[in-house]
């Protein structure tokens, strides 16, 4: 995933525009034209304190003064870091709603099996086997860093969760067709 941001000096007091982007390896590149290898002092910020190496470390969470972060951890983790920036619009998937919907579907499948099969042991064996085959739990980790940026829109989606929900619904519908409910 590449996150691409442009920061621009307001009111044209500076003609230097800086383009930041993080490529998939998390390297920091700068387009100020000087060979500054990521530690650019030719732009708006005199001393970038941002640790770009964070992008490679999945376990580490470092909190810095003056920064905001939101962290949601269910089956997906999302970290959006906004620092020294303004007018940033963020849209994220409602992970909480997705996770509870997924739990609701799993419960419904187990319920249909329990009512129709009757025998507790057998119904539990069946629902466990079905869940194993269809429940594709994957971890989804997204980290986005915005630094020294103005007027950016960020949109993130959790595709894994959406697919999982779709598959569970398919399974539920298939079951209900088999037992003649629908």
Partner 1 sequence: MSDASKPMVPEKVVELAVDSIFKKNGIKPEELKKNLTDEQKKVLREMVEDLKKQVDQFNSRNNETSE
For residue 160, the minimal CB distance to partner 1 (Å) is 11
DSSP state of 49: -
Name which of 109, 110, 95, 106 is nearest 161 in CA terms: 95
Q: Are strands 140-147 and 28-30 parallel, antiparallel or unpaired?
A: unpaired
Q: Tell me: does residue 108 bind partner 1 (CB under 8 A).
A: yes
Q: Which CB atom, from 54 or from 117, has the smaller least distance to partner 1?
A: 117
Mark the segment that binds partner 1 (CB under 8 A) among 28-36, 72-80, 126-134, 143-151.
126-134
Neighbouring C-alpha atoms within 13 Å toward the C-beta of 104: 9
For partner 1, which stretch binds (CB under 8 A), given 21-29, 44-52, 79-87, 160-168? 160-168
Query: Hey, which residues between 31 and 90 contact partner 1 (CB under 8 A)?
Result: none
- Rg from Cα positions in the chain: 23
Instruction: Spell out the long-range contacts of 117-121 with Cβ–Cβ below 8 A and sequence spacing 24 or more.
Output: none
Residues forming contacts to partner 1 in the complex (CB under 8 A) are 91-94, 97-98, 101, 104-105, 108, 111-112, 115-118, 122, 125-126, 129-130, 133-134, 155, 157-159, 162-163, 165-167, 169-176, 178-182
């Amino acid at each position: 995933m590449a996150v691409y941001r442009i920061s621009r000096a307001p009111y044209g007091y500076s003609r230097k525009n800086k383009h930041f982007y993080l490529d998939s390896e998390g390297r920091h590149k700068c387009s100020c034209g000087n060979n500054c290898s990521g530690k650019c002092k030719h732009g708006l910020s005199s001393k970038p304190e941002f640790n770009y190496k964070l992008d490679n470390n999945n376990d580490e969470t470092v909190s810095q003064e003056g920064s905001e972060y939101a962290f949601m951890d269910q089956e997906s983790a999302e970290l959006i870091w906004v620092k020294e920036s303004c007018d940033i619009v963020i849209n994220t998937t409602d992970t909480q709603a997705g996770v509870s919907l997924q739990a609701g579907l799993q419960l419904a499948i187990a319920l249909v099996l329990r009512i129709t099969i009757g025998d507790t042991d057998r119904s539990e064996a069946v629902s466990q086997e079905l869940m194993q085959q269809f429940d594709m739990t994957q971890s989804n980790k997204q980290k986005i860093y915005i630094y020294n940026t103005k007027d950016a829109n960020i949109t993130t989606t959790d595709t894994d969760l959406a697919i999982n929900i779709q598959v569970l619904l398919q399974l539920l519908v298939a079951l209900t067709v088999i037992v003649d409910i629908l």
